[in-house]
Amino acid sequence: MLKRFGMGRRTKILIDYSLCGNGTDPRSCCRCLRVCAPAVFQLHQSFGVRETNVFDPQRWRITPLWPSLCTRCLECVQACPRGAIHVSG
């Protein structure tokens, strides 16, 4: 029954950070966050950053933390203006 709904396979979501957030502030877009019904993505400061300036756009990332919740609707792929999101699985 799980395979019928596409939940039997492992979903892989890749974000090309050379397109998302490279020279732009990912906080100004967040389209993938808004269209993702199961809330797979999270906006956070980059891991291991010790920078005190929380307003520095290079310190922020969008990460697919819960790919197992992905329904493979590809709304995030279609919403990304830079084509930085790839879903497979």
- More confident site: 41 or 7: 41
Question: Rounded CA gap, 27 and 57, in Å?
Answer: 8
Strands (E), 1-89: 12-15, 41-45, 60-64, 85-88
Closest CA to 39 of 83, 75, 1: 75
Residue 55: predicted pLDDT = 67
CATH of 3-88, one of 3.30.70.20, 3.30.230.70, 3.40.50.720, 3.30.1370.100: 3.30.70.20
- More confident site: 7 or 18: 18
pLDDT tens, residue by residue, 28-48 = 889 999 999 999 999 987 766
Residue 3: predicted pLDDT = 53
Residue 44: predicted pLDDT = 86
- More confident site: 86 or 9: 86
